[in-house]
Structure 1
Amino acid sequence: MTTLDSDIRSGRVTGVILQGLENGQWIRSGAYDSSPAHRASFRQWVTSRYSDIETLKSAWNDPSLGSLESISLPDFAEPESPQELFLSIETEQSKIDYNLFLSEHTVAFIVDLATAIRAQTNPEFSIFAAYPNLLEHTGTAAGSWGIRELQAGPVDGMVT
């Protein structure tokens, strides 16, 4: 923002649209983020959500889970059609949880970024986020389940 400071003060730049990852959308197609930091963050999120391994085994309908510390990302599969957009609570709770985790972290990043920009700009400076792509078929892992939290944050509006 420092580079744009004179343009912001002069009114030549009146706002920004926050975009990310692929084509400005907050999605990663083809696979989940498999970095050690992302996997560790997901394990921490699961551990905070489920009190013990037995509760998690029951929720995920997976008796083979060993411990909360050994949780891995669910298997990635692109939906073959829009009809596969919905997930089954009985058999796909791990994917539902991962999508909720992804949405919460996507929104938290956008809010943190917008907060940092807001701290360096005047109140009239507009901050929009390219989110959540509701009108496009991006699949369930698009990180778009956090719209309520985004609306409550420092973002002035959303564009899709």
Structure 2
Amino acid sequence: MEQTSTMKWMWVAIGVLAIATIGFAIWAFAAQSQVNSLDQEKNAAEQTVAQEGQSIDSANQSIGDLQKQEGEIKNKFDKAEKDLTVDKASIKDKEAEINQLHQQLGQQQQQATDEENSLKSQLATSQTQEKLASACASLMIRGMKAIYHAPANANVMLEIADLLSRTAKQCKAYVG
């Protein structure tokens, strides 16, 4: 019986060992499966990181391109702003020049108006003097006719001569 008892224990030990081996094999298979799964996840993560790195590189390149474009646009804007400033200054200069020309034109128009008024006044004065001279000449002619046709009375002739002399002085004063 001892042999049977030892055999029993041996079979129990073999059974326990077999169960332990099977459990260990299952555990090893599960662990290997987890390792494989973790390797796949690691590979996927590395691929994602590589793709993200490429995306970051692409984004950095795009940012660089955009910064370059921004610099070019800023340069164009600065040039346009400078041109606009020059144009504004040029416009202000032209406006000042136009205002000065308007003032000169106004002064010249005023001078022309003043000169025209002066000439009109001189013309009116000349016309008045001409009328006075004509009237004076007409009076003198009438006076001479009156003396010529007057009776031989000396007093009448002296009065007409005196009247002609006064008329001549007045005419000379008016006509100048």
Provide the TM-score with structure 2 as the length reference. Answer: 0.19
Provide the TM-score with structure 1 as the length reference. Answer: 0.21
Higher relative contact order (CA 8 A, sep 6+): 1
Rg: which structure is higher?
2
